[in-house]
Structure 1
């Protein structure tokens, strides 16, 4: 069976209002005590699998979950256990899952990498959850006699370390699971509750949170783009291709945004979220003609959010990376704390914004919708990609020409500002072209794309490093008006950028000399 559900974190300020909607006459309250199992080195968790035995009212149920078909979908297998046997095992502290029941089940493919007998011997109880669940059924009767129904479940409780019950993590989340009917009803309902109660999407399962508790971590590591998860071929249609690449971008965005709304201030989460947002914005701009279901508001929201994140990220980068490096080279301390505190919109406020959260829901719904229902379902993506690639390559060449023209300005100060602007413009176009090319590469010759992408990515990274040094130098130069200690850093960064500039020119020349792969 495949469960389709959406999970949200509940802001403390909205909890009372949500509870009024959750605890109605028809709602039910159930105490859930769950025992989660894995190997000591968490092999199941690494494979995206969660295994538990949970008391649900008077029954004990063994459940296994694994990745499903879509961001909001997971494979799930439930088996009701014999109560007497469970009680006997509990009394002897020997409660363990029975893996033999999965041998011929629909979940079996998710366990193909494991030898079940060997796995069973390694399993141990890593953590338990103690949760009070309030459930309510949301039903919509449609005119065509199809009944849409969703189970809304509010969970309140904690995760407890399996061997040290002093280590605990609070649970306060709401889930919407499609029981029957149309997928659109799930997303429409979730959007309504999200708007009303300022809910924030979270892709972090209880199993993941338990794994983090065992490791002594609050959040998972930042998630970078993973092109190996992109499943496309030369026969893919335009609407299906766009859904696949949007899905790939969301796989980078959602884990990082989930960590941030949960409280992470880690620079890597913010960086990878920013990269994911920029990739997605480029995708929606480049392939907007591939689907009739693209909402033009998505691009505007992505662009606005990226800008808001950039302001905070630059100052955090100065404080956490550039400043320690400068101090190693003897620079006096420059404190950026007041500048960071002065930023009105932090990453968590930007990501928690209702329009951003609603957009994420709409994008997930888009990736899970049926591409064959679109008018262009008979058109292959491969036949349109060359036109897109040429368009973005020509924009890059125009940006390069703009850069060359900027060097001709007679006024030195104006020339410097113009050159920096031109470099940023060139980098933006090169980054866009790289993002598109990496996504379409599986549809072209591996030999040609590998060589071209290698040079393109090196040029992009070198130019990005050069611009980072320039931007940091400008920040310190500006800071020097109120803190003279920043003058040393500004001078040091200016000198350090010279060899980086030469390396960038070298990488760009190699890239321009390389034949395109399309």
Structure 2
């Protein structure tokens, strides 16, 4: 069977008021003790599989969870165990799962890559969870026996290391699982609770929490874009295609946003979250006519989130990576601590913001909605992509031409920020027309890259795929090169501005002024190759 649920972290400030709604007369409280199993080298976890034996009230249940859509749906198989047999194993400290249960079941394909006998011999208890669960059934007002219903479950407890019970990690989360009825009711209900109690979506399962505990990690590694999980082909319909593109972006966004709201300040989490959001923005902008269900209100919220994350990351990266690198070359110390502390909005504030969390919920709902119900469900996405790619390519060409005109003006002396004669002691810190043109070109290159990557799987001819691969290779090199240039320009301006209060920063300003000259030559070379390349569509 497939379970569809949404999990949220509960902010401490809203817990009391939330519990007043969770603990009503009809709610039930159950103590859950679960034992989780895996091989010593975490083979099941690496395959995205969770295996447990849990006591639910007076009943012992063996559960395996796996697969699903990577967002809200997972495959789940539950088997009630014989209490006497379980107790006998507990008495001998030999409680182990029975893998023979899964033969000829819907979950069998998930374990197809494992030899069950050998797997069973390697399994050990890795960690346990001790949770008090408060459940309440939420139903839509209806006399229909098949009315919409959701189980709300608030879990409070801890995950405990299986071999060292002094190592523990708290659990405080709420889940909404669809019991019967329509998905719309699940998302409508979740949004209501999210608004009221400022809940934050989390994709971190209890199995993942346990895995982090036994490996001594606070958060899972950052998740990068994985285009191999882009579930489209040459026959994909227009509404199915745009859902697949959004889904692929969410696979990158959600785990990284989950880490940030859980307290991660890791640069890679923030970077990959920002990239995921920008990929999503590019898809929503380019494919806006592919679905009637795309909400134009998503774009400004996503843009604001990406902008705030970028502002923080630029300064944090400068302090934690760039400054130490410069000091390796005997640069005088520049302390950016006060600048970071002066930022009023931190990444956790940005990601936990209610409008962003509600937008994520709406995007998940969109991805899970039925594309066959849309007006263009009988039309292939392939038929519209050439026009969209050409339109995006035209934007790139215009942006490149605009930059060339600014360079020409600079060469004629009208722009004091000509990079060939930049002086780190008298740089104008205001963004020039040339700077703006460079950033605009970078945005167009980035959007063009993402849109092309979404489109390539629709190609059905080998020669077309080869051309697309060559084109993308050149495009990505140009995009990365220009991105590096723009970042270094921002760092140069940061150090120049900092030098007004700390002369030590002049070293960094001069360093990046020199670096920019090399960046510019490299970027111009890669851009020329993109301009000379024939398009593949």
TM-score range, shorter chain: over 0.9
Q: How many aligned residue pairs are there? A: 518
| Offset at residue 67 of structure 1 (A) | 1.4
Measure the CA separation in 1 of the matches of 2:402 and 2:377.
Answer: 39
| Offset at residue 496 of structure 1 (A) | 1.9
**2:29 touches 2:135 (CA, 8 Å); kept in 1?**
yes
Change (3 A) 1:496 1:333: same
Q: How does 1:32-43 map to 2 (within 5 A)?
A: 32-43=32-43
Measure the CA separation in 2 of the matches of 1:339 and 1:142.
Answer: 56
Measure the CA separation in 1 of the matches of 2:282 and 2:344.
Answer: 27
Partner of residue 492, structure 2? 473
Partner of residue 404, structure 1? 404
Matched, 1:179 2:194: no
Measure the CA separation in 2 of the matches of 1:70 and 1:467.
Answer: 34
Q: How does 1:112-191 map to 2 (within 5 A)?
A: 112-142=112-142, 146-191=146-191
Matched, 1:440 2:459: no
Which range moved further: 167-176 or 462-471?
462-471
| Offset at residue 408 of structure 1 (A) | 2.8
Partner of residue 79, structure 2? 79
**1:406 touches 1:415 (CA, 8 Å); kept in 2?**
no
Partner of residue 237, structure 1? 237
After superposition, give the CA deviation of every residue in 1:145-186 in whole Å (9 maximum; x if it has no partner): 641110000000000000001100000000000001111100
1:499 maps to which of 518, 522, 525: 518
Measure the CA separation in 2 of the matches of 1:149 and 1:5.
Answer: 12
Matched, 1:254 2:273: no
After superposition, give the CA deviation of every residue in 1:225-262 in whole Å (9 maximum; x if it has no partner): 00000011111111000000000000000000000000
Could you state the TM-score of these two structures normalised by the residue count of structure 2?
Answer: 0.95
Structure 2 unaligned blocks of 5 or more: 420-431
| Offset at residue 418 of structure 1 (A) | 2.2
Measure the CA separation in 2 of the matches of 1:421 and 1:290.
Answer: 31
Partner of residue 304, structure 1? 304
Change (3 A) 1:164 1:279: same
Measure the CA separation in 2 of the matches of 1:292 and 1:142.
Answer: 29
Partner of residue 283, structure 2? 283
Q: How does 1:194-343 map to 2 (within 5 A)?
A: 194-343=194-343
- Alpha-carbon RMSD across the aligned residues, in angstroms, is 1.1
Q: Secondary structure in 1 aligned to 2:127?
A: strand
Q: Secondary structure in 2 aligned to 1:225?
A: coil
Partner of residue 433, structure 2? 418
Measure the CA separation in 2 of the matches of 1:508 and 1:308.
Answer: 29
Measure the CA separation in 1 of the matches of 2:146 and 2:56.
Answer: 29
**2:235 touches 2:458 (CA, 8 Å); kept in 1?**
no
Measure the CA separation in 1 of the matches of 2:521 and 2:307.
Answer: 29
2:473 maps to which of 445, 454, 457: 454
Partner of residue 380, structure 1? 380
Partner of residue 422, structure 2? none
Measure the CA separation in 1 of the matches of 2:15 and 2:237.
Answer: 44
| Offset at residue 70 of structure 1 (A) | 6.0
Q: Secondary structure in 2 aligned to 1:152?
A: strand
Measure the CA separation in 2 of the matches of 1:402 and 1:143.
Answer: 64
Q: How does 1:30-109 map to 2 (within 5 A)?
A: 30-69=30-69, 71-109=71-109
| Dislocated runs of 4+, deviation >6 Å | none
Which range moved further: 476-485 or 63-72?
63-72
**1:241 touches 1:381 (CA, 8 Å); kept in 2?**
yes
Measure the CA separation in 1 of the matches of 2:170 and 2:317.
Answer: 31
Measure the CA separation in 2 of the matches of 1:326 and 1:406.
Answer: 31
Measure the CA separation in 1 of the matches of 2:415 and 2:452.
Answer: 37
Q: Secondary structure in 1 aligned to 2:148?
A: strand
Measure the CA separation in 2 of the matches of 1:380 and 1:517.
Answer: 19
Change (3 A) 1:90 1:145: closer
After superposition, give the CA deviation of every residue in 1:467-514 in whole Å (9 maximum; x if it has no partner): 111110010001101111100110011112222221111111112111
Q: Secondary structure in 2 aligned to 1:296?
A: coil
After superposition, give the CA deviation of every residue in 1:111-147 in whole Å (9 maximum; x if it has no partner): 1111111110110000000000000000113476641
